[in-house]
């Protein structure tokens, strides 16, 4: 019985090694990808349950320990080096990649043409620009330092890519548009229109991934509680003004609340069924 397939040979071997430690033998066949097969179909329910757990946290130490204890070198898998671009594309869907590319292009234009020029095109609308509909969302593409854009894009790729892969591009675009709109609206009321960044959406993804994982673990979407605690602490750092940081706190809080609310709605039936 075919169980699943992996694009990453190490992940395939880690799962096979872990199941071997549980007394269940699987085998890997190489085609275009690495396909895992089970010969004893009486074990299929147990294997599928373990596979769901493995997909949610493939880097958990228990899988590394299983590979270490198996001590085998005859898996038949020949590892190939993969580029950073390949690794990024494996985790991210087309929308995730498109938004990353747009942010990078806008950041480059800001360096070449000047911040004020590009912000004049993309910032939140002032009283005379409400008919320029793109401005309600394009402020999320603006970033003002290398650290700013790297931090936001890493989180966007890590969480947005997982959501797009598991739940589809439609779900990600809804989270992105609603969080950009509401977090931008709140930040504009708090500090005026001269702001930007993907962080309101990133906080929405954090809130969504954490609560979705807590209420619906089978979805494959999750954020570790420790990382969620880090996000909350970072909000506190922003409000206290420590380290001289200038942070769009209103956008962060609004984005987080949007993500939590959307996750609650999406898992309401899960909790009542």
Q: Are residues 91 and 25 in the same domain?
A: no
Q: Which residue is catalytic, options 183, 199, 219, 222?
A: 199
Candidate from 27-41, 145-159, 236-250 with smallest mean pLDDT:
236-250
Residues sharing a CB contact under 8 Å with residue 18, sequence separation 6 or more, in sequence order: 50, 54, 62, 63, 66, 67
Q: Tell me whether residue 75 is in a domain.
A: no
Query: Rounded to an integer, what distance in angstroms lies between the CA atom of residue 41 and that of residue 221?
Result: 28
Q: Are residues 192 and 240 in the same domain?
A: yes
Q: Are residues 233 and 189 in the same domain?
A: yes
Candidate from 7-11, 87-91, 112-116, 209-213 with smallest mean pLDDT:
87-91
Confidence of residue 183 (pLDDT cuts 50, 70, 90): very high
Tokens of 136: 């309600």
At 143 the three-state DSSP class reads coil
Query: Rounded to an integer, what distance in angstroms lies between the CA atom of residue 223 and that of residue 213?
Result: 7
Residue at a domain's end among 12, 37, 70: 70
Confidence of residue 134 (pLDDT cuts 50, 70, 90): very high
Domain CATH code at residue 253: 1.20.1540.10
Q: Are residues 161 and 262 in the same domain?
A: yes
Q: Tell me whether residue 140 is in a domain.
A: yes
Q: Are residues 139 and 251 in the same domain?
A: yes
Query: Rounded to an integer, what distance in angstroms lies between the CA atom of residue 182 and that of residue 136?
Result: 9
Q: Confirm if 70 and 24 have CB atoms less than 8 A apart.
A: no
Looking at 216-248, list the stretches that DSSP marks H as alpha helix, in order from N- to C-terminal side: 225-240
Q: Which residue is catalytic, options 139, 143, 222, 252?
A: 252
Predicted structure pTM score = 0.69
Average pLDDT across the chain, whole number: 85
HSE-up of residue 19 (Cα within 13 Å, Cβ side): 28
Q: Are residues 223 and 168 in the same domain?
A: yes
Domain CATH code at residue 19: 3.30.70.2350
Helix (H) / strand (E) element for 201: namely helix 199-215
Q: Tell me whether residue 57 is in a domain.
A: yes
Q: Tell me whether residue 207 is in a domain.
A: yes
Q: Are residues 151 and 254 in the same domain?
A: yes
Q: Are residues 154 and 192 in the same domain?
A: yes
Predicted confidence at residue 243, as pLDDT, reads: 46
Q: Confirm if 95 and 172 have CB atoms less than 8 A apart.
A: yes
Candidates 43, 52, 49, 54; CA nearest to 10 is: 54
Predicted confidence at residue 246, as pLDDT, reads: 53
**Residue 139 known to be catalytic:** no
Counting the structural domains of the chain, the total is: 2
Q: Are residues 123 and 236 in the same domain?
A: yes
Q: What is the mean pLDDT of residues 214-224?
A: 87
Q: Is the pLDDT of residue 59 over 90?
A: no
Confidence of residue 149 (pLDDT cuts 50, 70, 90): very high
Residues sharing a CB contact under 8 Å with residue 95, sequence separation 6 or more, in sequence order: 160, 164, 169, 172, 173, 176
Confidence of residue 209 (pLDDT cuts 50, 70, 90): very high
**Residue 7 known to be catalytic:** no
Candidates 270, 273, 158; CA nearest to 214 is: 270
What is the span of the domain harbouring residue 65?
Answer: 2-70
């Amino acid at each position: 019985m075919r169980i699943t397939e992996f694009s990453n040979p190490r992940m395939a071997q880690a799962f096979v090694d872990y199941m071997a430690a549980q007394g269940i033998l699987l085998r890997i066949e190489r085609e275009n990808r690495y396909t895992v097969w089970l010969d004893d179909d009486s074990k299929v329910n147990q294997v599928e349950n373990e596979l769901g757990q493995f997909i949610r946290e493939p880097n958990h130490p228990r899988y590394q320990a299983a590979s270490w204890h198996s001590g085998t070198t005859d898996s038949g898998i020949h590892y190939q080096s993969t580029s950073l671009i390949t690794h990024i594309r494996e985790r991210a869907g087309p929308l995730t990649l498109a938004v990353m590319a747009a942010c990078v292009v806008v950041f480059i234009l800001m360096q070449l043409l000047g911040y004020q020029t590009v912000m004049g095109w993309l910032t939140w609308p002032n009283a005379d620009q409400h008919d320029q509909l793109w401005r309600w969302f394009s402020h999320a593409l603006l970033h003002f330092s290398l650290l700013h854009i790297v931090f936001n894009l890493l989180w966007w790729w890590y969480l947005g890519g997982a959501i797009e892969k598991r739940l589809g591009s439609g779900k990600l675009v809804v989270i992105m548009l609603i969080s950009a709109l509401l977090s931008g609206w709140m930040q504009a009321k708090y500090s005026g229109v001269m702001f930007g960044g993907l962080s309101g959406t990133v906080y929405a993804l954090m809130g969504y991934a954490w609560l979705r994982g807590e209420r619906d673990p089978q979805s494959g979407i999750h954020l570790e509680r420790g990382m969620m605690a880090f996000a909350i602490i970072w909000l506190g750092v922003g409000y206290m003004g420590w380290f001289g940081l200038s942070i769009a706190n209103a956008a962060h809080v609004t984005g987080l609340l949007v993500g939590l609310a959307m996750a609650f709605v999406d898992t309401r039936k899960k909790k009542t069924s």
